[in-house]
């Protein structure tokens, strides 16, 4: 029995389809990330699960009980879901402890709130007010408030986007550990592929209201469903071509196998910048550097592929910063090359 299940959920705003026949089941203890570009329907999906948006078509169930279908809908406060939004939405006039106790209906609300604050490491800040806390601390209060009523489902909308990069990594990891200990089914919205890869047991990649691909981070990254899915994780070098009788597509870097496509069909080959590496063996291709930039742990190096072709972008690790004009030998990791029907 899934902790949270969407069955054939479709939602329109006027003529515009925001969510289009969505089917996702999230087990208790699982974190599923809704990932996709702005406007693809992530927040609407979350709001439908929370009951903040009235379901128009399909069915939503929590813990095996239908909470919304075409006949009716359970009020948000009766769904037993925890919500965390981007802006934390703490009440400014309430103390931290009262903020956390707010949603708890049990008689021992303050003790429960204190226990939740202890869990997020803010047990000694209960008497402070929200404006006295840093962004990261406020995020942890929001988390404490969401877990305190022990919800079966946790809905999170870009909960880390207000934090600076270094704090974000730490708060993300702490949140993940805490959520795992509560056993809730978690649906987390993000537009950041790295965040999804880091947090999710499974990722639902959305585009224009539809789930394009649902799978583990490893499946989405290494076996993208289409060119758009491949590009969403990392911008890639793209080559157009035709599948030859040998089942391969010719590219400036050599032939790439296209086992899923028929000879004669048009194809797009995507080669991730990470797929390119320096290689002095006889198999590699000599290419001239156009420019190189340091990105930190690795470098972005552009190579000349000749007239009429865009430069080949390689991400080299450890970083190399060869001067323009240097000739380097490059080979391709076939595991990071993808061929799709054009």
Ligand X SMILES: Nc1ncnc2c1ncn2[C@@H]1O[C@H](COP(=O)(O)OP(=O)(O)OP(=O)(O)O)[C@@H](O)[C@H]1O
Where does this chain bind ligand X (CB under 6 A)?
A: 13, 16, 18, 36, 38-44, 191
Q: Which tokens go with 166?
A: 């270094």
If 0-12 CB within 10 Å is exposed, 13-18 middle and 19+ buried, where does residue 224 land?
buried
Beta carbon of residue 252, minimum distance to ligand X (angstroms, whole number): 36
Beta carbon of residue 154, minimum distance to ligand X (angstroms, whole number): 17
Contact 312, 254 (CB under 8 A): no
Contact 229, 205 (CB under 8 A): yes
Q: Which tokens go with 225?
A: 């469903």
Indicate the residue among 126 and 193 with the shorter CB distance to ligand X: 193
C-alpha dihedral sign at 129, 135, 139, 144: negative
Indicate the residue among 14 and 296 with the shorter CB distance to ligand X: 14
Indicate the residue among 36 and 58 with the shorter CB distance to ligand X: 36
C-alpha triplet 319, 325, 328: angle, nearest 5°: 50
**Using CA atoms, how far apart are residues 21 and 102, in angstroms rounded to an integer?**
35
**Using CA atoms, how far apart are residues 310 and 303, in angstroms rounded to an integer?**
9
Indicate the residue among 31 and 206 with the shorter CB distance to ligand X: 206
Indicate the residue among 12 and 320 with the shorter CB distance to ligand X: 12
Beta carbon of residue 186, minimum distance to ligand X (angstroms, whole number): 17
Beta carbon of residue 191, minimum distance to ligand X (angstroms, whole number): 5
Beta carbon of residue 197, minimum distance to ligand X (angstroms, whole number): 17
Beta carbon of residue 42, minimum distance to ligand X (angstroms, whole number): 4
Indicate the residue among 192 and 219 with the shorter CB distance to ligand X: 192
Contact residues for 187 (Cβ-Cβ < 8 A; gap 6+): 4, 24, 26, 32, 34, 45, 46, 49, 153, 154, 155, 156
Contact 55, 45 (CB under 8 A): no
């Amino acid at each position: 029995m899934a902790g949270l299940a969407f069955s054939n959920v479709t939602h329109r705003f006027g003529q515009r389809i925001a969510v289009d026949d969505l089917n996702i089941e999230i087990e208790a203890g699982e974190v599923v990330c809704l990932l996709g570009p702005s406007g693809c329907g992530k927040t609407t999906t979350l709001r439908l699960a929370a009951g903040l948006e009235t379901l128009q078509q399909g069915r939503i169930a929590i813990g095996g009980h239908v909470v919304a279908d075409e006949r009716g809908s359970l009020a948000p406060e009766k769904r037993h879901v925890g919500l965390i939004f981007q802006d934390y939405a703490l009440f400014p006039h309430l103390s931290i402890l009262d903020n956390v106790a707010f949603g708890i209906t049990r008689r021992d609300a303050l003790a429960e709130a204190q226990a939740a604050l202890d869990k997020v490491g803010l047990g000694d800040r209960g008497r402070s007010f929200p404006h006295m806390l840093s962004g990261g601390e406020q995020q942890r209060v929001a988390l404490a408030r969401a877990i305190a009523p022990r919800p079966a489902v946790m809905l999170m909308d870009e909960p880390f986007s207000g934090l600076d990069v270094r704090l974000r990594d730490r708060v993300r990891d702490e949140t993940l550990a805490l959520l795992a200990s509560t056993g809730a089914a978690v649906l987390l919205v993000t537009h950041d592929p790295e965040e999804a890869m880091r947090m999710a047991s499974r990722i639902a990649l959305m585009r224009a209201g539809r789930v394009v691909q649902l799978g583990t981070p490893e499946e989405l990254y290494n076996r993208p469903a289409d060119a758009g899915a491949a590009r969403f994780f990392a911008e890639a070098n793209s080559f157009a071509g035709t599948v030859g009788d040998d089942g391969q597509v010719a590219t400036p870097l050599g032939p790439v196998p296209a086992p899923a496509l028929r000879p004669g069909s048009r194809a797009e080959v995507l080669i991730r910048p990470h797929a390119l590496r320096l290689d002095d063996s006889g198999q590699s291709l000599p290419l001239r550097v156009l420019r190189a930039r340091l990105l930190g742990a690795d470098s972005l190096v552009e190579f000349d592929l000749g007239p009429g072709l865009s430069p080949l972008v390689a991400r080299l690790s450890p970083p190399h910063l060869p001067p323009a004009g240097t000739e380097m030998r490059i080979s391709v990791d076939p595991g990071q090359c993808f061929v799709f029907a054009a």
